[in-house]
């Protein structure tokens, strides 16, 4: 890898790291700040609905936009929109009526949702552009480093949000994050090449939807997999820890951070926990089926233990730790399969479609999180999650049948069987 390539990779990684920190911190800032103002769980959930919805739209369109206009433009758009969202949110006036405040935050969070997925799509795609086409091992190493560090830093962002809220206050924390991200944007504008990521052949807009039955079923499983996580993670857990168990803002942020950091660490171990097959899909699909059924059992057991009156703090800490381990392996296998099931000439469109499904799952989990918590508390959230995972398991079983009807990967497989992201 040439010196220029290393510099480009460092700039892209720093930009994504900076965005990820602010994204995690912003989530915790908004959640804890408005919870302290007396917002109900359902009202808290509505604050993130447009964030998730716009992320879904941006994922679907982002690959097409990047291929036509270049990844440097989409990266700038993502960083710029996040800076604007942070500054706009700092202008929120506590004296505003609740309805106006909710509408304002909803719109600003929608802008942040667009920013998140422009930045994510640009950063993950740009890594491939700064590595030589035949350097597969180097590509995997750098992509794995970017993905793993992103998950860890998202967790650090949760802690940062709780810490800044407790020490600096809402508006001052947002100003600080906006200033830091603006500095990263300025550095990227100076250091990155202008033509990065512009495609030679223009992709038709009509080609953004996947036509593969296997990818469609994998995407459907992803919808319910991430709905099952966010239905308790987005609102239920932090509200329960602070409002019922009496944890401080910093303690809530620390626990959420530890969970996400551990999640990222386990994802890095997933290749060593998964048997490989010569065609790159048969054993891996069976692994996805095993882990999703394990996740159903774990989630149902946590909900049952809470309903039975087990000590809630210990049950959640241990139970959600096990949930995080199983979920991380399952998610990593899914992330590999979307690459294994697609061809090189369709990778941008299929990956964009797949992560649109991921965002749709987060949207569904966010919407149901407030309702489920008001219906049955944290145990109710986990019971709903178990039901969603049953549906994810059904689609994962169907994935095996769909995969058998499609051609093998052959020479056009995107990555070797030894690589899981």
Please give the structure tokens belonging to residue 206. 């009509």
Return phi, psi of residue 413, to 5°.
-60, 140
Q: List the beta strands (DSSP E) in 136-271.
A: none
Is pLDDT larger for residue 352 or for residue 367?
Answer: 367
Place of tokens 């309805």: 99
Please write the tens of the pLDDT for every residue from 77-95. Answer: 889 999 999 999 999 888 8
Average pLDDT over residues 288-310: 94
Q: Are 373 and 272 part of one and the same domain?
A: yes
pLDDT of 208 > 80? The answer is no
pLDDT digits (tens, 9 = 90+) for 225-253: 999 999 988 788 988 998 889 988 778 87
pLDDT of residue 300: 95
**353 and 35 in contact (C-beta within 8 Å)?**
no
270 shares its domain with 179: no
The C-alpha atoms of residue 294 and residue 352 are separated, in whole angstroms, by 28
Say if residues 292 and 396 touch (Cβ distance below 8 Å): yes
Predicted pLDDT of residue 10: 75
Residue 294: what pLDDT?
A: 96
**Residues 271, 175 within the same domain:** no
On whether residue 420 sits in a domain, the answer given is no
> Under a CB-based contact definition with an 8 Å cutoff, are residues 108 and 85 in contact?
yes
Q: How confident is the model at residue 211 (pLDDT cuts 50, 70, 90)?
A: low
421 part of a folded domain: no
SS3 30: helix
CATH number at residue 173: 1.20.1250.20
| Final residue of a structural domain among 179, 206, 233 | 206
**Token pair in block for residue 301:** 């057991």
- The whole-number pLDDT of residue 403 equals 57
Is 141's pLDDT higher than 70?
Answer: no
242 shares a domain with 125: no
Q: What is the DSSP letter of 345?
A: G
Residues 214 and 341: beta-carbon distance below 8 Å:
yes
Range of the domain at 284: 209-415
From 164, 185, 206, give the residue that closes a domain: 206
HSE-CB of 161 using CA atoms within 13 angstroms:
27
pLDDT at 359: 84
Supply the pLDDT for residue 291. 94
What value does the mean pLDDT take over residues 287-296? 94
Long-range (24+ apart) CB contacts under 8 A made by 312-316 are 312/240, 312/244, 312/245, 312/378, 313/245, 316/237, 316/240, 316/241, 316/378
Q: Report residue 382 CA to chain centroid gap.
A: 20
pLDDT of residue 138: 53
Both 202 and 216 in one domain: the answer is: no
| Model confidence pLDDT, tens digit, residues 311-333 | 999 999 999 999 999 998 888 88
Say how far apart CA 193 and CA 48 lie, in whole Å.
Answer: 34
Same domain, 202 and 215: no
Is 280 within the bounds of a domain? Answer: yes
Backbone angles phi, psi at 37, to 5 degrees: -80, 0
User: CA-to-CA distance for 122 and 76, rounded, in angstroms?
Assistant: 9
pLDDT band, residue 402 (cuts 50/70/90) = low
Q: How many domains does the chain have?
A: 2
Tell me the C-alpha distance between 28 and 248, whole Å: 13
Query: Of the given ranges (52-56, 116-120, 163-167, 199-203), which has the lowest mean pLDDT?
Result: 199-203
Q: Are both 251 and 398 inside the same structural domain? A: yes
- What integer pLDDT is reported at residue 207 of this predicted model? 56
């Amino acid at each position: 890898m040439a010196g220029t390539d290393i510099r480009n990779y460092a700039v892209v990684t720093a930009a994504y790291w900076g965005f990820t920190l602010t994204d995690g911190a912003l989530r915790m800032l908004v959640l804890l700040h408005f919870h302290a103002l007396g917002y109900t769980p359902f009202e808290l959930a509505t604050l993130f609905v447009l964030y998730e919805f716009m992320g879904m739209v941006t994922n679907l369109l982002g690959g097409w936009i990047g291929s036509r206009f270049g990844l440097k433009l989409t990266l700038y758009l993502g960083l710029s929109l996040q800076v604007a969202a942070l500054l706009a949110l700092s202008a929120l006036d506590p004296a505003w009526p609740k309805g106006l405040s909710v509408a304002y935050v909803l719109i600003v969070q929608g802008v942040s949702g667009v920013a998140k997925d422009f930045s994510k799509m640009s950063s993950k795609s740009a890594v491939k552009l700064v590595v030589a086409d035949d350097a597969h091992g180097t590509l995997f190493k750098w992509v794995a480093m970017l993905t793993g560090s992103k998950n860890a830093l998202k967790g650090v962002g949760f802690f940062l949000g709780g810490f800044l809220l407790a020490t600096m206050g809402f508006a001052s924390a947002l100003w600080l994050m906006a200033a830091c991200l603006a500095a990263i944007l300025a550095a990227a504008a100076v250091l990155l090449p202008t033509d990065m990521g512009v495609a030679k052949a223009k992709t038709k807009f009509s080609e953004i939807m996947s036509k593969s039955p296997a990818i469609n079923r994998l995407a459907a499983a992803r919808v319910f997999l991430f709905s099952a996580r966010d239905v308790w993670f987005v609102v239920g857990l932090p509200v329960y820890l602070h409002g019922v168990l009496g944890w401080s803002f910093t303690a809530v942020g620390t626990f959420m951070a530890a969970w996400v950091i551990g999640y990222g660490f386990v994802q890095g171990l997933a290749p060593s926990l998964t048997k490989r097959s010569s065609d790159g899909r048969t054993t891996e699909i069976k692994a996805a089926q095993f882990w999703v059924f394990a996740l159903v059992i774990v989630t149902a057991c946590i909900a049952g233990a809470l309903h039975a009156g087990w000590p809630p703090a210990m049950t959640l800490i241990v139970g959600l730790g096990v949930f995080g381990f199983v979920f991380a392996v399952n998610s990593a296998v899914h992330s590999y399969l979307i690459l294994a099931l697609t061809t090189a000439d369709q990778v941008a469109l299929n990956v964009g479609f797949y992560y649109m499904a991921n965002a749709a799952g987060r949207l569904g989990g966010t919407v149901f999180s407030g309702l489920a918590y008001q219906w049955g508390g944290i145990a109710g959230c986990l019971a709903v999650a178990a039901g969603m995972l049953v549906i994810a398991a059904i689609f994962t079983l169907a994935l095996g049948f769909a995969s058998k009807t499609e051609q093998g990967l052959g020479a056009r497989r995107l990555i070797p069987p030894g690589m899981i992201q």
